[in-house]
């Protein structure tokens, strides 16, 4: 695969969504969890999305339960939590795996494009990938990197 637009994934409501639907947008792809110490980053992710979506930013949330069983609920539970607790309006997807043999193809590709501290593995929830308008990975951010900290790189990518 050569760019993010070649992938698709199920949305949190079960429809298959082609990432080509986000062509020419800057994407911030994040593996999220509802019961994690980093979960309050939803606030910053939502603010980033609302502040920059008119310029072409789309945040994509991918729930994952591979780290400390911190995303135990169903897609309906996750959607309700995100809506009621953080007023999330950016696109959310169905729960996936990001590591191991069951890793979603999107995450296999993202990790191959931009390694991290643990090589190609995702370290924890709220690892973030910044993808440019051309569909290629610009950067990868650690879970501790807050949305506020990476806003300058997002703005630069938006051009």
Domain limits of the chain?
Answer: 4-158
- CA dist 50 and 139 (Å) reads 21
Give the pLDDT confidence of 10-32 residue by residue, as tens digits.
Answer: 999 999 999 999 999 999 999 99
Is 36 annotated in the active site? Answer: yes
pLDDT of 90 > 80? The answer is: yes
- Residue of 117, 109, 130 whose CA lies nearest to 30: 130
The pLDDT, as a whole number, for residue 119 is 64
- CA dist 105 and 110 (Å) reads 9
Give the right CATH number for 4-158 from 3.20.20.70, 3.30.70.980, 3.40.30.10, 3.40.50.960: 3.40.30.10
- CA dist 28 and 133 (Å) reads 11
Give the pLDDT confidence of 70-84 residue by residue, as tens digits.
Answer: 999 999 999 999 999
Give the residue-averaged pLDDT of 47-72: 97
User: Which range has the worst mean pLDDT, 32-46, 53-67, 113-127, 139-153?
Assistant: 113-127
- CA dist 41 and 137 (Å) reads 21
Q: Which is the catalytic residue, given 26, 36, 96, 157?
A: 36
Average pLDDT score, the chain? 95
The pLDDT, as a whole number, for residue 35 is 95
């Amino acid at each position: 695969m050569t760019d993010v637009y070649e992938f698709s994934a199920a949305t949190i409501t079960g429809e298959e969504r082609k990432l080509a639907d986000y062509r020419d947008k800057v994407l911030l792809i994040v593996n999220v969890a509802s019961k994690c110490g980093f979960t309050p980053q939803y606030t910053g992710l939502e603010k980033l999305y609302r502040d920059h979506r008119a310029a072409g930013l789309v945040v994509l949330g991918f729930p994952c339960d591979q780290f400390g069983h911190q995303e135990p609920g169903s897609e309906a539970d996750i959607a309700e939590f995100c809506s009621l607790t953080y007023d999330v309006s950016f696109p959310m997807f169905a729960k996936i795996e990001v590591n191991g043999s069951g890793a979603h193809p999107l995450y296999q590709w993202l990790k191959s494009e931009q390694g991290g501290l643990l090589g190609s593995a995702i370290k924890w929830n709220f690892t973030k990938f910044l993808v440019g308008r051309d569909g290629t990975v610009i950067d990868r951010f650690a879970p501790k990197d807050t949305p506020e900290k990476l806003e300058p790189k997002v703005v630069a990518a938006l051009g």
